[in-house]
Amino acid sequence: MIHKPDHIFDTVVIGGGAAGFFGAINIVERQRSASVLILEKTSQVLSKVKVSGGGRCNVTHEDLPLKTFAKHYPRGEKELRELLQDFSSVDVKHWFEEKGVRLKTESDGRVFPESNSSQTIIDCFSKEIQKKNIALKTSCAVINVRKDNGIFYLSTSEGEIKTKYILACTGGSQNANHYNWLKDLSQSITPLHPSLFTFNAADHLLKNLAGVALPHCRIRIRNSKLQEEGPLLITHWGLSGPAVLKLSAWGAVELAERQYSFDALIAWDYSFTEAVLKEKINALIKEYGKKKINNTAIEPIPKRLWELLLFQSEIEEEQTWNNVSQKKINKLIENLMSYPLTVKGKTTFKEEFVTAGGVSLKDIHLKTMESVKIQGLHFAGELLNIDGITGGFNFQAAWTTAFIAAKNIVTSLNKK
Ligand SMILES: Cc1cc2nc3c(=O)[nH]c(=O)nc-3n(C[C@H](O)[C@H](O)[C@H](O)COP(=O)(O)OP(=O)(O)OC[C@H]3O[C@@H](n4cnc5c(N)ncnc54)[C@H](O)[C@@H]3O)c2cc1C
């Protein structure tokens, strides 16, 4: 689609990622004649979609009551309760299936294309923008935006572009400069922090346990209300697994303030309380009193971890249960239900991370995703101060906000 330099687009979508493509397609789906242009600063569109979900693209999460679904967003929960009523994970599934993309739900609730390939989603979007005659310009960064007489003037690396409406979908970034053009438009940006990361342990003893996985741990942060339950994986550098990732998301701001230096307290199984462990140990002493302690681990503790816990409790592996002092048993109980691990630093999880913080939701009309401050400027996706835990929740936020913005842009276009 070639446009004359003085052409005024109905909508320019800034950012050729998940939210940008979804928004652009939904605008034209509702109004066939709308002239829409997507601007992407890099040479590649949809690059995060491509690598998402380990190359499989976890497009959303299974249908849950909306209140429960919204609980998966450390930032934006309250707002998503409302937004999801307009476009939920059920709507996402219908949308893709209508376009011929077959989806499947895995046992943990994550939804993927049946093809197990993110390329299926990219192909779907590429086909739709062609079919709908949506213009796309890559290697074109929007640097600055001004509004004059109801028209937006976008100064880009490729010259000036004019439009009636803007859908801003520039994604998240921890670099504050990324949001400069929005600050110039008086949009407030809430502080930016990484979310979804793993913990680096200062404790070298754990390194020998790399690969050990526990299905039902509870991790707490000392001197904090933060705690999470779920599977835990010991890695060469520290702790990973769903419990840690969830904790990193809920603690994104607090842990950043502590400069990622804190003590994690691990219950190796969340059923472990002092009473439960005393009962288990008494049963072991009764049954295996004369057996070596290292051969009779408490379930579900794997042998390698059991040996470390004995060592940390100053219990020799060769000792029999009958010979261990009460003091050492008490220490063992403490290490089983509250193992202290000093965390120093963080590591990105499979390069998958999101930004906590961004365009303040206070500056946005939630029913329309339009700026409270600048009429005609709409927002969708990760540039907003909304982020979810892993499991398809971040794409769902992108689809939902883009859908609502698109709907409102078309309503406004029809009024003009
Ligand atoms: C490795 C990885 C795997 C992930 N896997 C999943 C997953 O499986 N499921 C899930 O739900 N979430 C996943 N996420 C998170 C998810 O990818 C993002 O939340 C989602 O892509 C956000 O979409 P977006 O369109 O808002 O932003 P983006 O996808 O980041 O797109 C923004 C686009 O805007 C462009 N842009 C920025 N500034 C400008 C400018 N000034 N002018 C023009 N263009 C600009 C950028 O180059 C970019 O292409 C993953 C993230 C990563 C990093």
Return the pLDDT at 317: 82
Distance, CA of 182 to CA of 154 (rounded, Å): 12
Q: Indicate if ligand 1 lies below 6 Å from the C-beta of 39.
A: yes
Cβ 296 vs Cβ 288: under 8 Å: yes
Whether 196 is in the pocket of ligand 1, judged by its Cβ within 6 Å, is no
Query: 228 pLDDT exceeds 80?
Result: yes
With a 6 A CB cut-off, is 395 part of the ligand 1 pocket? Answer: yes
Strand partners, 378: 167, 370
335 pLDDT band, cuts 50/70/90, is very high
Q: Are strands 339-348 and 261-267 parallel, antiparallel or unpaired?
A: antiparallel
**Nearest protein Cα to ligand 1, atom 15:** 394
Give pLDDT, residue 3.
64
Integer distance in angstroms from the first to the last C-alpha of the chain? Answer: 24
- Rounded alpha-carbon distances, angstroms, from residue 110 to 86, 94, 228, 246: 21, 16, 19, 15
In our burial notation (b when 16+ CB lie closer than 10 A, e otherwise), range 88-119 reads bbebbbebbeeeebebebeeebbbbbebebbb
Distance CA 178, CA 286 (A): 64
Helix (H, G, I), strand (E, B) or coil at 70: helix
pLDDT tens for 282-312 read 999 999 889 999 889 999 999 999 999 999 9
Contact by Cβ (8 Å): 168, 15? yes
Lowest-confidence segment of 57-66, 93-102, 343-352 by average pLDDT: 343-352
- Decide: residue 33, CB within 10 A, 0-12 exposed, 13-18 middle, 19+ buried: exposed
Ligand 1 lined by 359 (C-beta under 6 Å): no
Q: How far is the CA of 48 from the CAs of 68, 117, 281, 339, in angstroms?
A: 26, 13, 49, 37
Q: Is the CB of 23 under 6 A from ligand 1?
A: no
416 falls in which pLDDT band (50, 70, 90)? confident
Ligand 1: which residue has its CA nearest to atom 52?
352
* pLDDT tens digits along 135-162: 999 999 999 999 999 999 999 999 999 9
Sequence spans of domains, the chain? 8-194+352-415, 196-270+340-348, 283-337
Does domain 196-270+340-348 fall under CATH 2.40.30? My reply is yes
* Structure-token pair, residue 337: 């239900």
Residue 353 in contact with ligand 1 by CB distance below 6 A = yes
**C-alpha of residue 369 to centroid of ligand 1, in Å:** 18
Question: What is the atom index within ligand 1 of the atom nearest the CA of 18?
Answer: 25
Q: Which residues contact 21 (CB under 8 A, 6 or more apart)?
A: 38, 45, 46, 125, 128, 129
169 lines ligand 1 (CB under 6 A): yes
List pLDDT tens digits, range 83-117.
999 999 999 999 999 999 999 999 999 999 999 99
Instruction: Give yes or no for residue 307 CB within 6 A of ligand 1.
Output: no
Q: E strands along 278-395, which residues?
A: 339-348, 354-359, 364-365, 370-371, 377-379
For 229, list phi and psi in degrees, rounded to 5.
Answer: -125, 155
Mean pLDDT of the chain: 95
On the question of pLDDT at 332 being above 80, the answer is yes
Q: Give the residue whose CA is nearest to atom 29 of ligand 1.
A: 17
Fold of the domain spanning 8-194+352-415: FAD/NAD(P)-binding domain (3.50.50)
Dist. CA 302 → ligand 1 center (Å): 38
- Residue whose Cα lies nearest atom 35 of ligand 1: it is 15
- How remote is the CA of residue 201 from the centroid of ligand 1, in Å? 29
Is residue 203 pLDDT above 90, yes or no?
no
